[in-house]
Structure 1
Amino acid sequence: MKLLIKQRVFSWSDTYDVYDENGNAKYFVKAEFLSLGHRLHVYDRNQKEVGMIKERLMTLLPVFEIEVGGYVQGRIEKKFTLFRPKYEVEFNGWRAEGDFLGWEYDVYSGCSSIIHITKELFHWGDTYVIDFADPADELMGLLLVIAIDAANCTQKG
């Protein structure tokens, strides 16, 4: 099962449309326009909020908390490295490995790769494909990918 995440280019805040592998709208992600730090809300196709990614302020490197149902489910923290980005993932017992800068990485549960993320090139705006081994990981995987993207954007700008 796959999801396609497309960033809207002409938007005042971070906005993403998320589609299933058949091109049907599945989720919508919108940032709060005038908030301190990143606050991204994730909505399902019925416009019900299903999760939020919130930046913790007053940290040296980006730290993001992932909330579902108003409860913090985990966090990701960008680590200091010289060449390749590295993240500490405390979320669902998962770990992420790969080339974050090039957006080619996998998420593991134990020894098994459960999610594969790639960035598609030559698109207007950022476009990512998330490939899930188990459809039950869809929402949590989407929240993790959005959090890592936010951490990359925060570090760059």
Structure 2
Amino acid sequence: MKYLVRDKIFEIGDVHWIEDEEGRHAFLVDGKALRLRDTLELKDPEGRVLVTLRQKVLGLRDAMTIERGGEPLATVRRKRLSLLRDHYRVTLVEGTALDVSGRVLNREFVVAYEGELLAHVSRQWFRVRDTYAVNVVREDADAALLVAVAVCVIRMAEREREG
């Protein structure tokens, strides 16, 4: 299932929809305003919070956390050694690690678990410049988590480029 994401929707204080490939509302993105740190909520069409994305304030390396139900679900960090491609590690609380690699700023990267493709993020499927898709490859994968991972690594890469 492909999810259509517009780059500029992830501004703090904004509320926007992510649509599925059929044009139906799949996730509502709520950028919480007036918070001390960067916070986004990904909600289902009925308004229930599926995951919360938070920028970590302290720490030596930039990181974002993904929470579900108020509890930590995963931490996203950039890997230290990256030569030609961007590499990020998503560590879930139970110890599972997902690898993210590709050209994040170009919106061309993959999310994999032990070499198995879970999601492919690409701009190539769309002609609209500020739009990309998160193609969740496995039917049993957690789509909200994979969309959240894509958003986290893009925000982190953009922050690194700016800073």
Per the shorter chain, which TM-score range? 0.7 to 0.9
Aligned to 2:148: 143
Cα deviation 1:65-103 (Å, max 9, x = unaligned): 111121111111134568753323213532111111212
* Secondary structure at the counterpart of residue 135 of structure 1: coil
Aligned to 2:86: 85
Task: Look up the equivalent residue of 2:38 and give its one-letter code.
Answer: H
Q: Is the 8 A contact 1:117 1:129 kept in 2?
A: yes
* Secondary structure at the counterpart of residue 23 of structure 2: coil
Q: Is the 8 A contact 1:8 1:15 kept in 2?
A: no
Counterparts of 1:75 and 1:14, CA distance in 2: 24
Aligned length: 155
Aligned to 2:6: 6
- Segments of structure 2 that go 5 or more residues without pairing to the other structure are none
Q: TM-score, normalization: structure 2?
A: 0.80
Residues 36-51 of structure 1 correspond to what in structure 2 (within 5 A)?
Answer: 36-51=36-51
Task: Look up the equivalent residue of 1:58 and give its one-letter code.
Answer: L
Aligned to 2:30: 30
Cα deviation 1:106-144 (Å, max 9, x = unaligned): 1111121121001357636x4220112213321211111
Q: What is the root-mean-square deviation of aligned Cα atoms in Å?
A: 2.4
- Of 101-110 and 79-88, the range deviating more from structure 2: 79-88
Q: Is the 8 A contact 2:104 2:154 kept in 1?
A: no
- Segments of structure 1 that go 5 or more residues without pairing to the other structure are none
Counterparts of 1:20 and 1:79, CA distance in 2: 30
Aligned to 2:121: 117
* Secondary structure at the counterpart of residue 65 of structure 1: strand
Task: Look up the equivalent residue of 2:128 and give its one-letter code.
Answer: H
